[in-house]
Amino acid sequence: MTVTIYGAACSSTRKAKQWFTKNGIEYTERNVIREPLTVNELQSILRMTVEGTDEIISTRSKIYKDLDLDIEALPLQELLEIIQEYPRLLRSPIMVDKKRLQVGYHEEDIRQFLPRKTREHQWLQWRKNHLRVAEANR
């Protein structure tokens, strides 16, 4: 399954790409500054969120502060059009496949994109290593 990475050219997006490459997971990348997301694409991403627009909007970004948005008061369609016009409002990266979504690069959370068997194997290796360390410290 291919993961799509939506983002700007930033260190978090670079880290995500490196992680996917290192773990042999296919991905496609889309720079949302050069090629903004459509309203339909934004709606698809929002359907996968738990916290809605709060999850994908970068409230610490300069553009968010400059626009002085009250996102709670805006109709969703209008907000999506504003995001399309000002893609720097989005947190970066936003990574999606058919079943999963992750916003921002987090070393532990990104593991959700690993196949289950790989995650289980890594967990067993980690546990075995920690048991060895515990035995050695006795």
Catalytic residue list: 10
Q: How far is CA 65 from the centre of its chain?
A: 22
Q: How far is CA 54 from CA 42, 59, 89, 91, in A?
A: 13, 8, 11, 10
CB 92 within 8 A of CB 7: yes
CB 113 within 8 A of CB 3: yes
CB 125 within 8 A of CB 132: no
What is the DSSP secondary-structure string of 51-99? STHHHHB-TTSHHHHHHT--TTTS-HHHHHHHHHH-GGGB-S-EEE-SS
